């Protein structure tokens, strides 16, 4: 069996060899540019790991892994247009470099190419894989729409927020694992456990991401914390703080989020700490991690085969407290 690192390297090599070209280079070059910016390739590797859990890697798992990675990158290209983001992975986003029309179209063609890879699998799996893939694909669009809606609302609840990040980011991890498991010959029960493992791991990862943006140590996190606070993003930290704060704290928080004082980040972080949001956030993250690991435990597979996935979970989510 491969470790996460080994599979990541293997996938990255195979994926890099795929060049997207066609009769209209100006359409495929932006797609190629974006893929060349790299990325962690977590999703395709989860598909391969979910597959390897049940035996040797099935040749079709590589097609599904490609499809999953292309679909993920398509969503990033379009999200960047919607969010007007000009930098990703330290480089200009596709629309910043090639203009919005071409970026939009390159995203479209990348989604079609994701389906093209998916269509390569053996007929015996095709129907089921398409059903999982289509459901996941629609949910990701729903998640992005909710995310944009939440930007304009001030009454988003914690449940709504978790639901949004589940759709926007977790279902792709979940579906990748499930599709890998399906190709490994896994029954529906095990597929559901793998899906639940991925879904809860994805939520824990997103919560950790929000947490680190606020409380991460700059030298480990790689950037100055407080970006979300400066951008007035309504992360789960803000939602919870507004829920538990007393009247004075709530007023102070709202004032910070409608202004841009020079000491805004420090002040908001202090308010978060006063409300014990940092502890609560870690506990919530751990709860989702534990639920993820529970589902991995429940999968009816020899414990030793689960080690790479367990290692990955602990690598992605650093348990604290």
Interaction site with a copy of itself (CB under 8 A): 22-24, 26-27, 78, 81-82, 100-102, 104-105, 108-109, 111-113, 115-116, 119, 123, 126-127, 130-131, 134, 137-138, 141-142, 144-146, 148-149
> Is the CB of 35 or the CB of 49 nearer to a copy of itself?
35
Per the CB < 8 A criterion, the answer to whether 271 and 261 are in contact is: no
Q: How many angstroms separate the CA atoms of 198 and 213, rounded? A: 22
User: Nearest approach, Cβ of 215 to a copy of itself (angstroms)?
Assistant: 30
Tokens 């893929």, located at residue: 35
User: Nearest approach, Cβ of 136 to a copy of itself (angstroms)?
Assistant: 10
> Is the CB of 146 or the CB of 271 nearer to a copy of itself?
146
Torsion sign across C-alpha atoms 303, 305, 308, 309: negative
Tokens of 47: 């598909």
User: Nearest approach, Cβ of 161 to a copy of itself (angstroms)?
Assistant: 14
User: Nearest approach, Cβ of 174 to a copy of itself (angstroms)?
Assistant: 17
> Is the CB of 12 or the CB of 130 nearer to a copy of itself?
130
Nearest C-alpha neighbor of 45 from the set 76, 1, 6 = 6
Q: How many angstroms separate the CA atoms of 240 and 244, rounded? A: 6
User: Nearest approach, Cβ of 128 to a copy of itself (angstroms)?
Assistant: 10
Nearest C-alpha neighbor of 41 from the set 17, 13, 69 = 69
User: Nearest approach, Cβ of 86 to a copy of itself (angstroms)?
Assistant: 15
Tokens of 299: 């999968």
Q: How many angstroms separate the CA atoms of 40 and 148, rounded? A: 25
Coil, strand or helix: which one is 88? strand
Tokens 């080994």, located at residue: 6
> Is the CB of 6 or the CB of 148 nearer to a copy of itself?
148
> Is the CB of 45 or the CB of 114 nearer to a copy of itself?
114
Per the CB < 8 A criterion, the answer to whether 319 and 227 are in contact is: no
H-run or E-run covering 92? strand 91-92
> Is the CB of 153 or the CB of 279 nearer to a copy of itself?
153
User: Nearest approach, Cβ of 21 to a copy of itself (angstroms)?
Assistant: 12
User: Nearest approach, Cβ of 110 to a copy of itself (angstroms)?
Assistant: 10
> Is the CB of 134 or the CB of 224 nearer to a copy of itself?
134
> Is the CB of 142 or the CB of 192 nearer to a copy of itself?
142
Q: How many angstroms separate the CA atoms of 211 and 8, rounded? A: 26
Residue 19: Cβ within 10 Å count: 8
């Amino acid at each position: 069996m491969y470790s996460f690192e080994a599979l990541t390297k293997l996938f990255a090599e195979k994926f890099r060899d795929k060049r997207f070209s066609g009769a209209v280079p100006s359409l495929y070059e932006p797609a190629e540019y974006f893929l060349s910016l790299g990325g962690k390739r977590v999703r395709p590797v989860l598909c391969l790991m979910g597959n390897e859990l049940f035996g040797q890697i099935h040749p079709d798992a590589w097609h599904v892994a490609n499809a999953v990675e292309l679909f993920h990158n398509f969503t990033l290209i379009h999200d960047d247009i919607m969010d007007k983001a000009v930098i990703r992975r330290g480089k200009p986003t596709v629309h910043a470099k090639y203009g919005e029309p071409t970026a939009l179209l390159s995203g479209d063609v990348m989604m079609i190419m994701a389906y093209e890879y998916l269509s390569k699998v053996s007929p015996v799996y095709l129907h089921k894989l398409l059903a999982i893939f289509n459901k996941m694909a629609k949910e990701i669009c729903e998640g992005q729409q909710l995310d944009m809606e939440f930007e304009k609302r001030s009454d988003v609840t914690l449940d709504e927020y978790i639901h949004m990040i589940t759709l926007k980011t977790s279902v792709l991890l979940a579906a990748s694992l499930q599709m890998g498991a399906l190709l490994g010959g896994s029954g529906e029960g095990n597929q559901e456990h793998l899906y639940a493992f991925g879904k809860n791991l994805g939520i824990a990862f997103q919560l950790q991401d929000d947490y680190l943006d606020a409380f991460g140590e700059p030298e480990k996190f790689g950037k100055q914390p407080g970006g979300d606070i400066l951008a007035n993003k309504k992360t789960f930290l803000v939602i919870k703080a507004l829920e538990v704060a007393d009247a004075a704290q709530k007023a102070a928080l709202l004032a910070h989020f409608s202004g841009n004082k020079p000491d805004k980040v420090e002040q908001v972080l202090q308010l978060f700490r006063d409300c014990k949001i940092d502890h609560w956030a870690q506990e919530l993250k751990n709860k989702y991690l534990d639920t993820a690991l529970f589902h991995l435990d429940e999968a009816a597979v020899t414990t030793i085969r689960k080690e790479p996935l367990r290692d990955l979970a602990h690598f992605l989510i650093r348990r604290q407290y």
